[in-house]
């Protein structure tokens, strides 16, 4: 493997050994590299990173590394079509090799140069350091194309496994749902014997006319690891896009969801749950950009934060001029379980049209002591009472999950990490 060190003259100077594999077109790579040359690492003075310190990522001595695993012990749905990546590289030995009609599913590394040359253009690079790193240094990722009118019944499960110490992974996924198609994707991020690793993943999603696409994004990485995960989504007329982001472990997790709703009569659903403890830091940034009229977007994020963990929610909804008759709702709720837990919640609406129905709200509180006493007075132990209350609080987000296998896995992970038993 050919390792490249980032040239020290770059503004975003880091001591990372990255793999010099050029996946996307040379033009795109040049643009990305020029961003890296000129752009310093963001600090907390940068508005988009105000509450998230990147020092541990900037100062990390990360190294790209390949590893072969003998088995995938993370598979959620046994009937799923499964693709597995380890440290940013396709693991063909762990992945499905037969696919139903109507989908093209493979690793970018298996694609022809010509096919690759047209990918990757929807992602903004200017001013976006991690997008630029990803575009210049992505080693592999998924290419999923769902043909028009096809309903893919099995879940498409994409598993990113990270192993080792200080491993850096750059993954680039491309998902295209053609007109009138329907599919359900599960993307999960997990680790095995990993320590202080960094993953920077970008998923570009195109939802064509009247397509229905659901993504469950399940994050369960080691508490010492860092992840920045960006979904760049465009929706065409009459389409329906749902993403459920469930963050159950990970040291520093930043999710960027950028949804451009470019066609009329679209529905967009963003649901998120984050359950944190220790010194975890989880930051959800979402942008829903309504550029045209007659669309609905609905955003529900809920967090439970214990010990010294910190959560950030920054949700922005734009309603552009002439994007009339938009219904946009956004809600973020947090429960703090300890005195040292912190949340920074910032819901934002920017509306330039005059005939819209929009609302946003944010609540942060503690569990109701009176309710806990009531439950205990009926014979329920204190721990179980608190768990019932927490489960009731985040239950409406977990209730959005439609795949039984995903629900069961979420239940298992909550049981494993918190000894909680919510989803039922």
Partner 1 sequence: MLKIENLHASIDGKEILKGLNLDVKAGEVHAIMGPNGAGKSTLASVLAGREEYEITEGTVAFEGKDLLEMATEDRAREGLFLAFQYPVEIPGVSNVNFLRTALNEIREYNGQEQISAKDFMALVREKSAIVELDAKLASRSVNEGFSGGEKKRNEIFQMAMLDPKLAILDETDSGLDIDALRIVANGVITLKSDKNATIVITHYQRLLDYIVPDFVHVLYDGKIVKSGPKELALELEEKGYDWIKAEFQH
Residues that bind partner 1 (CB under 8 A): 368, 370-371, 373-382, 384-385, 388-389, 391-393, 395-396
Q: How far is the CB of 382 from partner 1 (least distance, A)?
A: 7
324/361 Cα distance (integer angstroms): 21
Q: How far is the CB of 407 from partner 1 (least distance, A)?
A: 16
Identify which of residues 351 and 384 has a Cβ nearer to partner 1 in the complex: 384
Identify which of residues 293 and 372 has a Cβ nearer to partner 1 in the complex: 372
Q: How far is the CB of 331 from partner 1 (least distance, A)?
A: 14
Identify which of residues 322 and 368 has a Cβ nearer to partner 1 in the complex: 368
Got the DSSP string for 127-186? T-HHHHHHHHH--B-EEEEE-TT-B--S-EEEEEEEEEESBEEEEEEEEEE-TT-EEEEE
Q: How far is the CB of 383 from partner 1 (least distance, A)?
A: 10
Q: How far is the CB of 375 from partner 1 (least distance, A)?
A: 7
Q: How far is the CB of 372 from partner 1 (least distance, A)?
A: 9
Q: How far is the CB of 272 from partner 1 (least distance, A)?
A: 17
Q: Which is it for strands 142-146 and 17-19: parallel, antiparallel or unpaired?
A: unpaired
For tokens 């990113």, name the residue.
160
Structure tokens at 420: 């909680």
Longest dimension (CA), the chain: 68
Identify which of residues 181 and 387 has a Cβ nearer to partner 1 in the complex: 387
Identify which of residues 133 and 422 has a Cβ nearer to partner 1 in the complex: 422
Contact present, 253 and 229 (Cβ < 8 Å): yes
22/34 Cα distance (integer angstroms): 15
383/364 Cα distance (integer angstroms): 21
Structure tokens at 97: 């090799």
396/110 Cα distance (integer angstroms): 40
| Helical (H) or strand (E) element with 404 | helix 404-418
For residues 51-73, one letter each, b for 16 or more C-beta atoms within 10 angstroms of the residue's C-beta and e for the rest, the string is bbebeebbebebbbbeeeeeebe
Q: How far is the CB of 246 from partner 1 (least distance, A)?
A: 18
Q: How far is the CB of 377 from partner 1 (least distance, A)?
A: 5
382-398 vs 369-376: helix axis angle to the nearest 10? Answer: 120
Identify which of residues 45 and 378 has a Cβ nearer to partner 1 in the complex: 378
Identify which of residues 351 and 372 has a Cβ nearer to partner 1 in the complex: 372
Q: How far is the CB of 332 from partner 1 (least distance, A)?
A: 17
Bridge partners for 143 per DSSP: 106, 174
Q: How far is CA 313 from CA 254, 257, 264, 272, in A?
A: 10, 12, 27, 10
| Helical (H) or strand (E) element with 395 | helix 382-398
Identify which of residues 24 and 385 has a Cβ nearer to partner 1 in the complex: 385
Identify which of residues 307 and 396 has a Cβ nearer to partner 1 in the complex: 396
For residues 232-251, one letter each, b for 16 or more C-beta atoms within 10 angstroms of the residue's C-beta and e for the rest, the string is bbbbbbbbbbbbbbbbbbbb
Identify which of residues 172 and 302 has a Cβ nearer to partner 1 in the complex: 302
403/161 Cα distance (integer angstroms): 21
């Amino acid at each position: 493997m050919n390792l490249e060190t980032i040239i020290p003259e770059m503004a975003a100077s880091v001591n990372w050994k990255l793999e010099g594999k050029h996946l996307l077109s040379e033009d795109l790579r040049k643009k990305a590299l020029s961003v890296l040359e000129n752009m310093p690492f963001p600090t907390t003075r940068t508005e988009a990173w105000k509450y998230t310190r990147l020092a541990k990522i900037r100062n990390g001595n990360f190294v790209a590394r390949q590893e072969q695993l003998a088995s995938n012990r993370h598979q959620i749905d046994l009937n799923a079509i499964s693709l597995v990546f380890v440290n940013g590289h396709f693991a063909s030995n762990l992945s499905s090799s037969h696919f139903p009609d109507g989908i093209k599913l493979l690793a970018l590394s298996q694609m022809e140069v010509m096919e690759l040359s047209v990918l990757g253009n929807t992602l903004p690079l200017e001013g976006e350091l991690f997008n630029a790193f990803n575009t210049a240094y992505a080693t592999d990722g998924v290419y999923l194309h769902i043909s028009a009118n096809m309903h893919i019944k099995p879940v498409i499960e994409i598993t990113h496994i990270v192993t080792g110490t200080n491993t850096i992974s750059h993954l680039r996924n491309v998902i295209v749902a053609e007109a009138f198609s329907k599919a359900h994707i599960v993307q999960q991020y997990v680790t095995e014997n990993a320590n202080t690793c960094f993953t920077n993943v970008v998923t570009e999603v195109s939802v064509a006319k009247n397509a229905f696409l659901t993504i469950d994004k399940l994050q369960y990485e080691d508490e010492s690891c860092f992840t920045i995960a960006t979904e760049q989504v465009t929706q065409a007329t009459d389409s329906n896009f749902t993403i459920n982001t469930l963050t159950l472990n990970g040291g520093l997790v930043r999710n960027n969801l950028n949804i451009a709703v470019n066609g009329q009569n679209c529905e967009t659903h963003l649901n998120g749950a984050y359950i944190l403890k220790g010194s975890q830091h989880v930051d959800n940034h979402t942008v829903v950009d309504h550029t045209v009229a007659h669309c609905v977007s609905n955003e529900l994020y809920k967090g439970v934060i214990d010990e010294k963990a910190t959560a950030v929610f920054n949700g922005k909804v734009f309603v552009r001029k002439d994007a009339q008759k938009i219904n946009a709702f956004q809600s973020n709720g947090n429960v703090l379980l300890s005195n040292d837990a912190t949340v920074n919640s910032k819901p934002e609406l920017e509306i330039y049209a005059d005939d819209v129905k929009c609302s946003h709200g944010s609540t942060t509180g503690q569990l109701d002591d009176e309710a806990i006493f009531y439950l205990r007075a009926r014979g329920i132990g204190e721990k179980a009472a608190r768990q019932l209350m927490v489960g009731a609080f985040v239950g409406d987000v977990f209730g959005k999950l439609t795949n039984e296998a995903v629900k069961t896995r979420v239940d298992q992970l909550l049981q494993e990490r918190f000894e909680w038993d919510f989803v039922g």
